[in-house]
Amino acid sequence: MVDTRLKDYIHKNQGRFVEDISRLVAQRSVSARKEGIEECSKLVSSMIKEIGGKPGILRQDGSAPLVYGEIKSSKSEKTILLYNHYDVQPEEPLELWKSPPFKPEVRKGRLYGRGASDDKGELVSRLKLIESYMKVYGEPPCNIKFCFEGEEETGSNGLPRYVSQNKELFRCDASLWEHGSITEEGRPIVSLGGKGTLYVEYTVRSLRQDAHSAHAAILPSAPWRMVWLLNLIKDQNERVLVPGWYDGVEDFTRTELKFLDGQPFDRKFFEESYGPDEFVKASTDLELKTALQSRPTANIAGIWAGYQGVGMKTVLPAEVHCKMDFRLALGQDPKALFKKLRAYLDENGFSDVKMTVLDSEPAARTPPSDPWAKAAMRAGEKVYGKKSVVELCSPGTSPHYLIRDNYGAPIVSIGISPPDASLHAPNENIRLDLLERGMVWIAQTFENYLGAV
pLDDT digits (tens, 9 = 90+) for 254-272: 899 999 988 898 898 889 8
- Tell me how far apart the alpha carbons of residues 302 and 315 are, in angstroms, rounded to a whole number: 20
Mean pLDDT, residues 137-166: 96
pLDDT for 47: 98
The per-residue pLDDT for range 207-244, each reduced to its tens digit, is: 999 999 999 999 999 999 999 999 999 999 999 999 99
* Intrachain domains 4-194+364-451 and 201-249+296-361 with the same fold: no
How many Cβ atoms from other residues are within 10 Å of residue 81's Cβ?
A: 24
**Alpha carbon distances (Å) from 68 to 38, 149, 327:** 14, 9, 29
The H or E element that residue 281 is part of is: none
**How far apart are alpha carbons 264 and 289 in whole angstroms?**
9
Residue 370, helix vs strand vs coil = coil
The answer to whether residues 407 and 166 touch, using CB atoms and an 8 Å cutoff, is no
Beta bridge partners of 112: 105, 429
Please report the pLDDT score of residue 419 as a whole number: 84
Compute the distance between CA of residue 344 and CA of residue 348 in angstroms, rounded to an integer. Answer: 6
Cα–Cα dist 214/306, whole Å: 15
Give the model confidence (pLDDT) of 69-115 as tens digits.
Answer: 999 999 999 999 999 999 999 999 999 999 999 999 999 999 999 99
Predicted confidence band of residue 281 (pLDDT cuts 50, 70, 90): confident
CATH code given to domain 4-194+364-451: 3.40.630.10
Rounded (to 5) percent helix, strand, coil in the chain: 40, 20, 40
Say what the pLDDT of residue 452 is.
67
- Can you name the CATH fold of 201-249+296-361? Alpha-Beta Plaits (3.30.70)
Distance between CA 133 and CA 10 in Å, rounded?
9
Residue 283: pLDDT band by 50, 70, 90 thresholds? confident
Cα–Cα distance for residue pair 325/359, rounded to 1 Å: 9
**pLDDT over 90 (residue 453):** no
Q: What is the pLDDT of residues 406-420, one digit of tens each?
A: 999 999 999 998 888
The residues facing 83 across adjacent strands are 147
Report the C-alpha gap between 311 and 116 in whole angstroms. Answer: 43
How far apart CA 255 and CA 373 sit, in angstroms, is 14
- pTM, rounded to two decimals: 0.91
Instruction: Give the mean model confidence (pLDDT) for residues 348-359.
Output: 96
- What pLDDT is recorded for position 262? 87
Residues 6+ apart with CB under 8 A from 240: 233, 234, 246, 296, 298, 326
**3-state SS, residue 321:** strand
Distance CA 277, CA 112 (A): 34
Give, in degrees to the nearest 5, the angle at Cα 44 between 66 and 125. 115
Residues 296-315 pLDDT 10s: 999 999 999 999 999 999 99
* Residue-range domain boundaries for the chain: 4-194+364-451, 201-249+296-361
